[in-house]
Structure 1
Amino acid sequence: MAKYTIEQFMNTESLAGVSITHNDGSILYGSDKSGVYNAYSIKRDGTESHKLTNSTTDAIFPISYYPEDHRFLYQSDQGGNEITHLYVRDKDGQTKDLTPGEKEKVMFEGWSADRKSFFYQSNKRDDRYMDLYEMDIETFTPKMLFQNEEGYQVEAISPDKKYIALHKPNTANNSDMYLFSAEHGVEHLSKHEGDIQYNPLMFDGDSSYLYFVTDEDNEFLHLKRIDVDTKSAEKVAVEEWDILMAKFSPNYTYLIYLINNNGKIEMKILDTKTGKPVEIPGLPDGQISGVTISRSEKLIAFLLNSSNSPSNLYVFDIASNELTCLTDTLNPEIDQHDLVEAKVVHFPSFDDLSIPAIYYEPHVKEGEKAPALVWVHGGPGGQSMVNYNPVFQYLVNHGYAVLAVNNRGSSGYGKTFFKAADLKHGEVDLADCVESKKFLVSTGKIDEERIGIIGGSYGGYMTLAALAFQPDAFKVGVDVFGVSNWERTLKNIPSWWEAVRDVLYKKIGNPFTDTAYIRSISPLFHAEKITKPLIVLQGANDPRVLKAESDEIVESVQKNGVPVEYIVFDDEGHGFTKRENRITGYRAIKKFLDRYLK
């Protein structure tokens, strides 16, 4: 088996965002082929790929072609600060910032039914809340449709513009949905008791029904709809796992929804008249994202990846029943057969609760045992899935096993599992990660004395928590922009997260009233217990986990005489978007592991 460099893995192209032209001729998508995400187009037959933007600094993520021509909308922030603006690129290649407020953060919501305007959310009036606006595509004149004073999340606008569907999280496990109209104001649609999720998704073509997902009377989210006049509700689709999203084709001929099936995203397409499924012949096994349907309803485009294959752009012609892959993103210097296929596994934790995980096992010679890393995802409440991760493949290619643990508190495994770590973070979820070592050892392929822990964001916090609260459990720690002091992080969450501030407090703890508890689970206040080598990576512009979180834990651990390495990227935020920085960071991680774990 060949060994590959981090440059070779990072020179694999990464894709994001998909849109189809009004005439089905081309597909718009985002790619980091140049080292920074830019917008590209490709003919529907896979020919004539063109780079449409030329950013060398800030990532550009395309959103949508215009309804009648080849202009398109895209979003971008500044150095990873997450203050995303909305831009248009015109026919002559010129770009215009449509939301130029210095501190204005926006989110695109969709096109109007007459396609003469689009909807977006903006916090320019009050940086805590997102108001809903409509913008004319010729004059670029915005008009406020809904002033948000209560921390609602705008989820859908009816085709006749009469209704706006609103979502309001109460806790991470309990939410409500509302219906706003000029005639009736805000109506509460989901009065209930106990922990139940209600999340509106879309309206039907007649603006008669609002479709939503809920875990009412079920462990998992299923699809229902409610009559906006009578308020009577009925089930539309129920699966054995969460239904993550649903959308209609432009003329409402098809209903498409995605299912989170044990860590893998699957797609179902239903004919709305017959209810019969539309099958895609020859669809490879893998994770589906970025699903879009053309205005003609003849084409469906999407991204698909698997654990050993990066995302590629596919287009399915419904009439001809033909599936075409338009891209080949894996670096041609890498033989896919050298990459490891991940396995979904389950292991019992300290209380016999079954914990799911994604396992990447390196090729191990007979009689030898490999070092291993326990990976913890972001969140809290995130999920590791069976998708392509170049860092995992890079580490596995060089002899490290990776076990991506979905500890209790992770999403995707039912509402009981999801809330099992509430107000116990850094405790029971950490115990699950420690217990995962027993699974690794049970394979007979792993050296129990050479197991480290790694993670980003919340996973970075779990890395620090493991080193501070279970100092003998792991040999090394890799912290990628992880929280070290929950008191500061929870008091300084970005202003545009105001609507979910209380949700975080109820899940992790209130930093104003539960100070003693918050400090008890914050590694910074227990840094003297950290005795194992640590490497920390941080973006200087991170608005979620401030640079001070990493600065202070590094300074504190250094006082223990422990090997500590620290890398700061001045032009990154919460997540590293520039290829050059990813290469630098991941190379440093492997070098650190080779020194202290291998």
Structure 2
Amino acid sequence: MKFADLLTLGFVLSCVLPLASTACAAESGEDSSSVPPVLPMEDFFRNPEVGAFSLSPDGAKLAFVKPWERRMNVYVRDIETGAEKRVTSATERDIAGFFWKGSDRIVYIQDKGGDENFHIYLTDIEGKASRDLTPFDGVRAGVLDDLEEDPEHMLLEMNRRNPEVFDVYRCELATGELTQIAENPGNITGWLTDHDGRLRVAYETDGVNSSLLYRPTEKDEFKTLVTTNFKDSFFPLMFGYDNKLLYVASNLGRDKIAVYTFDPDANKTRDLVFEHPDVDVASLISSKKRKVITGVVYTTDKSRYHFFDKDRRELQDTLEKFFPGYEVAVTGMDDDERRATVRVYGDRTRGGSYLFDRQSNSLTKLADHSPWLKETEMAPMEPIQYTSRDGLTIHGYLTLPLGVASRDLPLVVIPHGGPSARDEWGFDSEAQFLANRGAAVLQVNFRGSTGYGKKFWQAGFKQWGRAMQDDVTDGVEWLVKQGIADPKRLAIYGGSYGGYAALAGATFTPDLYACAVSYVGPSNIFTLLESIPPYWEPYREMEYEEIGHPVKDKELLESISPVLHADKIRIPLFVAQGANDPRVKKAESDQIVEAVRKAGKDVVYMVKDNEGHGFRNEENRFDFYREMGGFLKKHLGLR
């Protein structure tokens, strides 16, 4: 994953869901009795009651996470008896992820204080034999292949030998012994195994060009098959179940990414599997039991499915009949595909999880994820679109507060992180929190966002603080022109790249916003590029093309670095930062705070010593959103 991927309109012609309906409501007025109560901030940002249900391969047990000592820990429940046991004991940091290794062990990952140097742990389902499989300081580890058919081993990736790249190790679970099976020559950014756990594909970069490498067997040398500029995509998704053909995500010769089959032995692209005219498609659904690709998932305004397989389509249809009007996602199955875990959600609810028995066609509710939030008190998130000042169609989402006229509302625009990412439809804690306080919330997929094709993505190259920022500005002015947003009560808030956009909004459009909030956002593009984590080093030249070169594009980077123009910031500013952030170093926030204060302006500054790129610990989230809520109440007049 690239560095920019991680940093998580004269205008107005149309919108997907017409705001005419909102305008009508505004003219007629709303019954103030329908205004929901102001809910406690903690209700939006507390840990879920329970979540992330996962079936054991034998279908007899469920693993899931729920809070213990205010940290998300892993539990295991016997489906027949209901007996439940906690198997991890994290007290400093949430468990960041987990999966089953067989039906009697759990693998989980955890970092320290937000440093993102994740360790891999193994425990039995009694929670009595937890071991760190990667006990190395300053090393980042990941699971390449859990080797489902091999109960005694897994394949791990680590940057232990060289902090810039990841080698592959076979881990013997009984002893923890690590045997290196592939040494990264210094340019490989990803590995892929076949369904027998054999390491046969690699993905490399020379900094700008990317290549697909292949070998028929592990005894053979890797050979280069396809080389593309990084601006094009030809990425391996998985082997077919014959271990011969590859499924690849490609936009070679086209704008939108589509899924194809590819014959690596013949070095030839074969069949188009699925394409969509408007958005990228790069996600497959498959059946391990039946060894077939069953469908694809893609996102337009919402997540959509296309099924190739009758059995999987019937399963989806059956589940959606249980929950009309809601999004329904199968999150896992046991090896026999008899039982499935199901997640049900919407834009006004985090929803819940269910266990579906396909044999008996019965559905069992496992949990509501946040039962304290009432769906009737949450605000709908509507997909919208508008036209930028230079004619691009910009998609996004608008959340309007309940029970009040949609006229002259305070507005908070939230540019997403990345910036090579996108916002999606669904329950959003921040949007709901702000809407409950009476604000409209705008989230936009500005140029440079992913999912809309390479032309739209590349339109964001070297446009930080420029056209990318204009897209955000244009969306705000679009809502002002429609009369929905009050021009005197506009705020910009974001995290990571969104935090940069908030600083850019405060710096380069100081008359537009009443206040700004930057959360782990960079302020100086020169120091940002100098301080990237070592394992992003292979992507440096790509970042120079996407953002700008510190020497060749010095004037550009100077012009778009908020810290170098801090004297232009005239509005109240709130900055939040994790001290251990490996992506956007604390120095980024230190610089802008010092510069703004030097210019004689006040800035609220919050630093959490045990956090990284975003606040995971519940008490730190509470501190941040409590401060932000008070800040926006003061400067926007939120209720």
TM-score (norm: length of structure 2): 0.87
Structure 2: how far apart are the matches of 1:91 and 1:311? Answer: 27
Work out whether 1:235 is the aligned partner of 2:272. yes
Q: Match of 1:3, SS?
A: coil
Q: How does 1:207-356 map to 2 (within 5 A)?
A: 207-232=243-268, 233-240=270-277, 241-271=279-309, 278-283=315-320, 284=323, 291-310=331-350, 312-332=352-372, 334-356=373-395
Evaluate the alpha carbon distance shift between residue 401 and residue 194 of structure 1 in structure 2; reply closer, same or farther with a 3 A threshold: closer
Q: How does 1:381-392 map to 2 (within 5 A)?
A: 381-392=420-431
CA contact under 8 A between 2:330 and 2:340: conserved in structure 1? no
Which residue in 1 is equivalent to 2:513?
474
Which residue in 2 is equivalent to 1:100?
135
Evaluate the alpha carbon distance shift between residue 193 and residue 513 of structure 1 in structure 2; reply closer, same or farther with a 3 A threshold: closer
Q: How does 1:186-585 map to 2 (within 5 A)?
A: 186-191=222-227, 195-232=231-268, 233-240=270-277, 241-271=279-309, 278-283=315-320, 284=323, 291-310=331-350, 312-332=352-372, 334-363=373-402, 365-366=404-405, 369-585=408-624
Evaluate the alpha carbon distance shift between residue 331 and residue 264 of structure 1 in structure 2; reply closer, same or farther with a 3 A threshold: same
Evaluate the alpha carbon distance shift between residue 435 and residue 45 of structure 1 in structure 2; reply closer, same or farther with a 3 A threshold: farther
1:539-596 Cα deviation digits (max 9, x unpaired): 1110111111111101111223323111111111001111111111001101001111
1:423-480 Cα deviation digits (max 9, x unpaired): 1211001001111123322443321211111100000001111111122121110100
Deviation of 1:203 after TM superposition, in Å, equals: 1.4
The one-letter amino acid paired with 2:178 is: P
1:203-248 Cα deviation digits (max 9, x unpaired): 1233112222112233322222222322333222223432232253
CA contact under 8 A between 2:198 and 2:218: conserved in structure 1? yes
Deviation of 1:175 after TM superposition, in Å, equals: 4.2
CA contact under 8 A between 1:46 and 1:327: conserved in structure 2? no
Evaluate the alpha carbon distance shift between residue 129 and residue 414 of structure 1 in structure 2; reply closer, same or farther with a 3 A threshold: same
Evaluate the alpha carbon distance shift between residue 413 and residue 472 of structure 1 in structure 2; reply closer, same or farther with a 3 A threshold: same
Deviation of 1:32 after TM superposition, in Å, equals: 4.7
The one-letter amino acid paired with 2:309 is: D
Which residue in 2 is equivalent to 1:185?
221
1:467-513 Cα deviation digits (max 9, x unpaired): 11122121110100100011111111001112322222221012254
1:18-55 Cα deviation digits (max 9, x unpaired): 53212202222334575322213345589555433221
CA contact under 8 A between 2:491 and 2:513: conserved in structure 1? yes
Which residue in 1 is equivalent to 2:8?
none
Structure 2: how far apart are the matches of 1:100 and 1:152? Answer: 24
Work out whether 1:84 is the aligned partner of 2:118. yes
CA contact under 8 A between 1:163 and 1:179: conserved in structure 2? no
TM-score (norm: length of structure 1): 0.92
CA contact under 8 A between 1:39 and 1:62: conserved in structure 2? no
Identity rate of aligned residues, in percent?
A: 28
Which residue in 1 is equivalent to 2:70?
35
1:342-382 Cα deviation digits (max 9, x unpaired): 00000111112111111110125349632001110001212
> Which is further off, 129-138 or 575-584?
129-138
Structure 2: how far apart are the matches of 1:111 and 1:367? Answer: 51
The one-letter amino acid paired with 2:58 is: N
Evaluate the alpha carbon distance shift between residue 438 and residue 469 of structure 1 in structure 2; reply closer, same or farther with a 3 A threshold: closer
Which residue in 1 is equivalent to 2:625?
586
Unaligned runs of 5+ in 1: none
Aligned partner (choices 100, 106, 111) of residue 146 of structure 2: 111
CA contact under 8 A between 2:213 and 2:224: conserved in structure 1? yes
Evaluate the alpha carbon distance shift between residue 46 and residue 407 of structure 1 in structure 2; reply closer, same or farther with a 3 A threshold: farther
Structure 1: how far apart are the matches of 2:452 and 2:207? Answer: 18
Work out whether 1:130 is the aligned partner of 2:169. no
CA contact under 8 A between 1:45 and 1:326: conserved in structure 2? no
CA contact under 8 A between 1:60 and 1:75: conserved in structure 2? yes
State how many pairs are aligned.
Answer: 594
Structure 2: how far apart are the matches of 1:511 and 1:527? Answer: 20
Structure 2: how far apart are the matches of 1:37 and 1:288? Answer: 24
> Which is further off, 502-511 or 181-190?
181-190
Deviation of 1:108 after TM superposition, in Å, equals: 1.0
Unaligned runs of 5+ in 2: 1-35
Which residue in 1 is equivalent to 2:57?
22
Q: Match of 2:54, SS?
A: strand
Q: Match of 1:309, SS?
A: coil
Structure 2: how far apart are the matches of 1:526 and 1:450? Answer: 23
